[in-house]
Structure 1
Amino acid sequence: MEFLSDYGLFLAKVATVVVAVLILITAIVSAAQKDRGDQHGDGELRTRKLNDRYRRLKESLQSRLMDDEQRKQWEKSEKKRRKAEQKAQKQHAKAAGHTPQDADERKPRVFVLDFHGDIKASDTDMLRQSVTSVLSVAEAGKDEVVVRLESGGGLVHSYGLAAAQLDRIRNRNINLTVCVDKVAASGGYMMACVADRIIASPFAILGSIGVVAQLPNFHRLLKKNDVDFEVLTAGEHKRTLTVFGENTDKGRQKFLDDLEDTHVLFKEYVGERRPGLDIAAVSNGDIWFGKRALDVHLIDEVMTSDEYLESACDRADVIVVGFHHKRSLAERLGFAASTAVEQSFWRIVGTFRNQNIQ
């Protein structure tokens, strides 16, 4: 038993050392990859045509519903049809001779951008690059930009910049549609309201036109343990509330005044972009689900992004545009670990919930 105990202790020490070494290696590799990423530009532009994707899905399902003989006949007819279409396109292009009229004859294009917001609106840089790329080729009055937006909001200055990127599209007179399938609240709605048209799924969360700030204060705990904490500033309003110092009524009031001013700017921003909205009725920080949001004119139509884009394929070439950074080994490991932890957490929550229901 003593041998087994010593052996178990030895294994525990070895495991601890191995984990520590792996963490150190991961940190070093991550730093190296970050530096290398900074040197290799702003990421890789990727495009994907949704028309082709929906067509392949349709053809795949159709072929699976046929028997072998029917499938052979159908595939043969489809091959002839595609060849005839390609031939007709080539003849048309040759006859047109690539004249200036080609731009008028081509189908409209719908450029699809994705934005998944966190508290810092970290996707803003990728959005900026995507918008710049699209604006270099999009034609005002003919093409459209669709943004699939998901965000519960976050830092005011971060989402202000993200909304300003969408303003660039609107300022170029290019039709802008925002699709919300889950949530566009607070800073997320600040971005959505820029659009000419907002579409949301039936139970998407929208609104939360308000401003919130919160921070703990440990002054009494420090004072109880005879710990002094001093805040030195040059400028009356350089620091209003602190985490460790003693907060004053004057500082607290200044902080509240700043929040109110930010809220006023938020309301003005939304009101300018959606003039038909009763901003006083919807700017109390409340949220609305899709159908209710339509009633108060926070959105223009109830529909999922899939439904909208699928219908757009009938009238235009629908192209998904995005910039992507290749994840380093350390980033992939970290992402896999965080995903595993998140899945485990929700599995435990789900099990607990089911037990309570039973």
Structure 2
Amino acid sequence: MQFLAEYGLFLAKAITIVVTILIVVGGIISLAMRQKKSTEKRLEITHLNPRYEEMEKTIAAAALTEVGLKRKMKADQKKEKQAAKAEKKAGKTAKKEAGKADESRKKRLFVLDFDGDIKATDVENMRQEISALLTIADKEDEVLVRLESGGGTVHGYGLAASQLQRIRDQGIPLTIAVDKVAASGGYMMACVANKIIAAPFAIIGSIGVLAQIPNLNRLLKKHDVDFEQLYAGEFKRTLTLFGENTAKGRAKMQAELEETHALFKSFVKSQRPGLDVDKVATGEHWLGTRALELGLVDLLQTSDDYLMSLRNDAELILIEYSEKQTMVEKLSQLMTLKWRQQSKLVQDVDKPLLM
């Protein structure tokens, strides 16, 4: 009987452990499934005017006296009533004049964000955002792109600039705001705009092209390691990481760099005809104040000031096309970033040129 009792107790513990494990595994699977669903990309629309209004009310409540706060509240209520009356009147006018454009509607300012990396991967989100806003935006509206990028691959930033060109082609005013940096491929994007605004210490310019690669051929020879590479086409490979580079290969790569640079300069010139491209296309970069003097930007102003200046006259609409990352993805992204900061990435010439 004692044996049976001990065996029963052991069996109960074992079943408890197995059930617990199954519950934990089931919870993990369920969480993974929910996270998988949440990673589906979606378009998010945020109206920024209420955010600014809430900020104004909060700071007013803390800074104004009781009498001053009451006066402000009355003034705000009066303003809201006047706006409601104007909207109602505009609605009646629109009904009477069916088919005619409503000229009294508020201007809309669509806000997009572009955070550029070396491959311009954010262009995948931006192309969806632009496609969405082009379905409703017209020439009376405006698009503001808050751009941050130090440049990267030619084809990546070429596509990003082409996406912005879609806005210009529809006759919709495009403004680019640079708070930190728009250099090289980043400036290729920025110059598409009707107007470029930049913070005084933002980095602007760097109109140049770069290709770099280490060569380990002598190290391999020193250790008696042979490297063989087969290819068809004289210039399929110009410079190589492991093989012995030739003067002819170097000359061909330099010619490709010069050709890409000429195309870059031509593109900038076509977008900003008044700019002395030969003077600024040396690969140098400048701070915002000097960039303004050189004609690379049109106004010294932060994106925050630009939005604040329009919040009473325009409807500010932030458009974001993104996905919610899982914890594993966030951790992986953080580890990758740390690794890139602590090591130098080897750029093979098989990979595209950098701007």
After TM superposition, the score normalised by the length of structure 2 is: 0.79
Aligned residues: 312
* Aligned-pair CA distance for 1:205: 0.6
1:210-229 matched pairs, under 5 angstroms? 210-229=208-227
Between stretches 64-73 and 129-138, larger displacement belongs to 64-73
User: 1:158 and 1:31, CA in 2 relative to 1: closer, same or farther beyond 3 A?
Assistant: farther
Q: Indicate the residue corresponding to 1:294 in structure 2.
A: 292
Q: CA deviation at 1:97?
A: 2.6
The reply to whether residue 120 of structure 1 matches residue 119 of structure 2 is: yes
Shift of residue 51 of structure 1? Answer: 2.0
Q: Equivalents in 2 of 1:31, 1:253: separation in Å?
A: 53
Rounded to whole Å, the distance in 2 between the matches of 1:120 and 1:170 is: 24
C-alpha displacement at 1:314, in angstroms?
3.0
Say which of 173, 176, 185 aligns to 1:175.
Answer: 173
User: TM-score with structure 1 length normalisation?
Assistant: 0.79
State the shift of 1:56 in Å. 1.4
Instruction: Report the Cα offset of residue 110 of structure 1.
Output: 1.1
Q: What is the 5 A alignment of 1:109-188?
A: 109-140=108-139, 142-188=140-186
The answer to whether the 8 A contact 1:153-1:188 is kept is yes
**Aligned partners of 2:90 and 2:102 also within 8 Å:** no
C-alpha distance in structure 2 between counterparts of 1:80 and 1:206, whole Å: 45
Distance 2:204 2:280 in 1: 10
SS in 2 for 1:177: strand
Tell me, which stretches of 5 or more residues in structure 1 are unaligned?
1-27, 346-358
Post-superposition Cα deviations, 1:205-249, rounded to whole Å, max 9, x if no partner, equal 111000011111110111111100011111111111110111111
Letter in 2 for 1:171: D
- Which one of the candidate residues 224, 235, 241 is aligned to 1:237? 235
Residue 112 of structure 2 aligns to a residue in which SS? strand
Displacement of 1:330 after TM fit? Answer: 1.2
Which stretch has the larger CA shift, 100-109 or 235-244?
Answer: 100-109
**What is the aligned partner in structure 2 of residue 333 from structure 1?**
331
Q: In structure 2, what is the Cα distance between the partners aligned to 1:82 and 1:166?
A: 36
Contact 1:170 1:176 in 2 (8 A): yes
Q: Any stretches of 5+ residues in structure 2 without a counterpart? A: 1-28, 343-355
Quote the offset at 1:104 in angstroms: 2.2
Q: Report the counterpart of residue 315 of structure 2 in structure 1.
A: 317
Letter in 1 for 2:55: L
SS in structure 2 opposite 1:230? coil
Once the two structures are superposed, the pairs formed by residues 83-98 of structure 1 within 5 Å of their partners are 85-86=83-84, 89-90=87-88, 92-94=90-92, 96-97=94-95
Which residue of the partner structure matches residue 306 of structure 2? Answer: 308
Match of 2:52 in 1: 54
- C-alpha distance in 2, partners of 1:272/1:32? 50
Q: 1:256 corresponds to which residue?
A: 254
Aligned amino acid, residue 279 of structure 2: A
Rounded Cα–Cα distance in structure 2 between residues aligned with 1:30 and 1:263: 50
Deviation of the 1:63 alpha carbon: 1.2
Aligned to 1:7: none
Q: Deviations over 1:126-175 (max 9, x none)?
A: 110111111111112x1111111110001111000001101111111111
Which position in structure 1 is the counterpart of 2:9?
none
Query: How big is each residue's C-alpha offset from its partner over 1:278-328, in whole Å with a ceiling of 9 and x where there is no partner?
Result: 111011101111110011101111111111111122322121111111112
Do the aligned residues in 2 keep the contact of 1:30 with 1:328 (CA within 8 Å)?
A: no
Q: Deviations over 1:41-62 (max 9, x none)?
A: xx21112222222221111111
The answer to whether the Cα contact below 8 Å between 1:113 and 1:130 also exists between their aligned partners in 2 is yes
Task: State the superposition RMSD in angstroms.
Answer: 2.9
Deviation at 1:250, TM superposition (A): 0.6
1:70 shift after superposition: 6.0
AA in 2 matched with 1:187: G
SS in 2 for 1:52: helix
Distance 1:336 1:71, change over 3 A: farther
Question: 1:100 aligns to what?
Answer: 99
SS of equivalent residue, structure 1 residue 203: coil
Q: Which has the larger radius of gyration?
A: 2
Q: Secondary structure at the match of 1:103?
A: coil
Query: 102-111 or 261-270: which moved more?
Result: 102-111
Deviation at 1:93, TM superposition (A): 2.3
SS of structure 1 residue aligned to 2:133 = helix
2:266 aligned partner: 268
Structure 1 SS opposite 2:137: coil
Share of identical aligned residues, percent? 49
Instruction: Provide the secondary structure at the position in 1 that maps to 2:266.
Output: helix
Matched with 2:63 is 65
In the other structure, the counterpart of 1:3 is none
Shift of 1:91: 5.7
Are the counterparts in 1 of residues 90 and 104 from structure 2 also a CA contact under 8 Å?
A: no
